[in-house]
Amino acid sequence: MVRTLYYGESQAYGRSEKQGFTYDLAHDYPGSERRSKFLACAAKAEAQYPGDTISEVPEIDTIAPDPTWVGPPRAKGDVDWLFAGKKPQGQTYILTLDTTVTAPSGQQEAQKDQVHVTIWNDVAYFYQWACPG
């Protein structure tokens, strides 16, 4: 489920940033985002980085249960994040995520992050926000 979640996201971002942000919003944990703010920040990012594509690949062998996880505090600028201090329903896991952003010029920027996913009612959700922190 986790691999499929991120594969779908990468496919969406491979088509366009707009489709990527739409996918993110549809697959974020329910109630974790302020939809109107998310969409406004996504539109700003699309205008700022036109043509960028994003690939996110979970390192499946790093998945570990994280039953005490709660949403992190909202960073300055994260006006779309509503989940600070809240504990999700379902089973939450931490994992390493490899992200590569490719500009239209072909220049790439790669990074690794520790992220969380929650499996709830047989659906995998992540916690993505569009507004910069």
For residue 51 the two structure tokens come to 């043509």
Residue recorded with tokens 């520790």: 114
- pLDDT tens string 64-100: 999 999 998 877 666 777 888 999 999 999 999 999 9
In the prediction, which pLDDT does 117 show?
A: 97
- Count the domains in the chain: 1
Distance CA(54)–CA(109), nearest Å, equals: 10
Q: In this prediction, what percent of the chain has a pLDDT beyond 70?
A: 95
State the distance between the two ends of the chain, measured CA to CA, in whole angstroms: 28
| pLDDT band per the 50, 70, 90 thresholds, residue 61 | very high
Q: Is residue 82 part of a domain?
A: no
Asked, for residue 84, whether it belongs to a domain, the answer is no
Domain region containing 107:
2-71+94-126
Query: Per the domain annotation, does 81 fall within a domain?
Result: no
| Chain-centroid distance, C-alpha 116 | 9
Q: What is the CATH number of the domain that holds 9?
A: 3.10.450
User: Which residue, chain included where needed, has tokens 């942000």?
Assistant: 21
What are the tens digits of pLDDT across the range 109-127? Answer: 999 999 999 999 999 999 9
Residue 91, amino acid? Q
